[in-house]
């Protein structure tokens, strides 16, 4: 017991650099942003001062119809893109998990979309969905110009376009996470299922999916958080348009803060996004943790 107590100062000394790094780059900006969100600050108008308004910015956020619509668009984007990415990622993982000639090349090719910077990929998809010279209309309608669809000019089509672009880019990342889960499933489980007469579908449903649950939840966690933070995709492809059809909450916060100069209100939007992501993270971590604990107990 005395030995443990004597080692405690040494332990704190060794982890102090990591704590200082986290505190400087994460905790301090978060606390400072929360402080700014409690004031009414206008960029470029120092004469107005920085009056303390408490939670007025957050109350205004709850009553702001544009913010509510932006949250709705964001949640719709998160739900649709995450579901598609998990489903496609599962399919990708199952394919590249099999043994076949050239599997290494296929795995490398699958990860190419994820490796492309988001701004570059967004610009590429903006050109593809262009209604005059885009590849999407050319592939679908050929030379029949009268049938060309202005993808980024119609609210529904524009929303589906940014979802499609996000799924194309990040489904392979979800597949990579799920593949890691597939590779740790014991082959003995499949052998036992074959002996019991289970066909391929039964082995997938009763063996693969239950044992793959932690990996699926992990992929769901990462993709949900990343999808909720979407900004550059919308910024490049649609600028939140047409109208506010693709204006996600991160882009609305950016416009409020940097375009309109409302520092206090814009920061409160960012803090609301941070709080939402934090709550989602806690929920998923508790779910993943309980799933892993049950698996280890079994």
pLDDT score recorded for residue 265: 93
Question: Which of 255, 243, 67 lies closest to 155, judged by CA?
Answer: 243
For the stretch 151-194, pLDDT in tens is 999 999 999 999 999 999 999 999 999 998 998 888 888 888 88
Range of the domain at 87: 56-297
* Phi and psi torsions of 42, nearest 5°: -120, 125
For the stretch 130-162, pLDDT in tens is 988 889 999 888 888 888 889 999 999 999 999
Q: Confirm whether 114 is domain-assigned.
A: yes
Query: Which pair of tokens denotes residue 127?
Result: 């050109």
DSSP-assigned letter for residue 24:
I
Q: Are 33 and 255 in contact (CB under 8 A)?
A: no
Find the distance separating the first CA and the last CA of the chain, reported in whole Å: 34
Q: Confirm whether 132 is domain-assigned.
A: yes
Total number of domains in the chain: 1
pLDDT score recorded for residue 253: 92
Find the range with the poorest average confidence among 18-22, 31-35, 119-123, 215-219. 18-22
pLDDT score recorded for residue 76: 95
Question: Which of 161, 139, 142, 163 lies closest to 152, judged by CA?
Answer: 161
Q: Confirm whether 19 is domain-assigned.
A: no
125 to each of 107, 159, 256, 274, 290, how far by Cα in Å? 23, 13, 26, 28, 39
Q: Confirm whether 68 is domain-assigned.
A: yes
pLDDT score recorded for residue 277: 86
Residues in the chain: 298
Give CA–CA dist 41/245, Å, rounded.
28
For the stretch 233-272, pLDDT in tens is 999 999 998 888 999 999 999 999 888 888 899 999 999 9
Q: Confirm whether 218 is domain-assigned.
A: yes
Helix, strand counts (H, E) of the chain: 15, 0
> Is residue 6 pLDDT above 80, yes or no?
no
Q: Confirm whether 95 is domain-assigned.
A: yes
pLDDT score recorded for residue 1: 47
Region 2-7 average pLDDT: 57
Q: Pick the residue with more confidence: 75 or 46?
A: 75
Give CA–CA dist 272/292, Å, rounded.
30
Q: Enter the pTM of the model.
A: 0.87
Give CA–CA dist 204/208, Å, rounded.
5
Q: Confirm whether 210 is domain-assigned.
A: yes
Question: Which of 263, 275, 250 lies closest to 42, judged by CA?
Answer: 263
> Is residue 293 pLDDT above 70, yes or no?
no
> Is residue 5 pLDDT above 70, yes or no?
no
For the stretch 62-106, pLDDT in tens is 999 999 999 999 999 999 999 999 999 999 999 988 888 888 888
Q: Confirm whether 7 is domain-assigned.
A: no
* Other C-beta atoms lying within 10 Å of the C-beta of residue 121: 22
- CATH classification at residue 202: 1.10.3720.10
Question: Which of 23, 36, 80, 53 lies closest to 253, judged by CA?
Answer: 36
């Amino acid at each position: 017991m005395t030995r443990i107590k004597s080692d405690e100062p040494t332990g704190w000394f060794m982890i102090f650099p990591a704590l200082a790094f986290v505190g400087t780059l994460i905790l301090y900006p978060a606390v400072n942003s929360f402080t700014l969100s409690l004031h009414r600050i206008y960029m470029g108008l120092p004469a107005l001062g920085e009056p303390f308004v408490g939670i007025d910015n957050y109350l205004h956020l709850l009553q702001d119809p544009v913010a509510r619509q932006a949250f709705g668009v964001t949640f719709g984007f998160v739900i649709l893109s995450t579901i598609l990415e998990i489903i496609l990622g599962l399919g990708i993982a199952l394919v590249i998990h099999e043994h076949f000639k050239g599997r290494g090349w296929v795995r490398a090719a699958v990860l190419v979309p994820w490796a492309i910077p988001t701004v570059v990929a967004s610009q590429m998809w903006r050109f593809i969905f262009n209604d005059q010279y885009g590849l999407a209309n050319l592939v679908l309608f050929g030379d029949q110009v009268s049938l060309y669809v202005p993808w980024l000019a119609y609210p529904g089509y524009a929303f589906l376009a940014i979802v499609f672009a996000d799924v194309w880019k990040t489904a392979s990342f979800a597949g990579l996470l799920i593949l890691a889960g597939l590779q740790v499933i014991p082959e003995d489980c499949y052998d036992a299922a074959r002996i019991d007469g289970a066909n391929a579908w039964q082995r997938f449903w009763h063996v693969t999916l239950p044992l793959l649950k932690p990996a699926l939840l992990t992929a769901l966690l990462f993709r949900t958080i990343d999808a909720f933070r979407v900004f550059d995709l919308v910024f490049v492809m649609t600028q939140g348009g047409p109208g506010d059809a693709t204006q996600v909450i991160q882009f609305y916060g950016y416009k409020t803060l940097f375009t309109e100069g409302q520092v206090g209100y814009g920061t409160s939007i960012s803090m609301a996004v941070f709080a939402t992501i934090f709550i989602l993270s806690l929920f998923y971590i508790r779910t993943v943790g309980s799933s892993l604990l049950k698996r280890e107990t079994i």
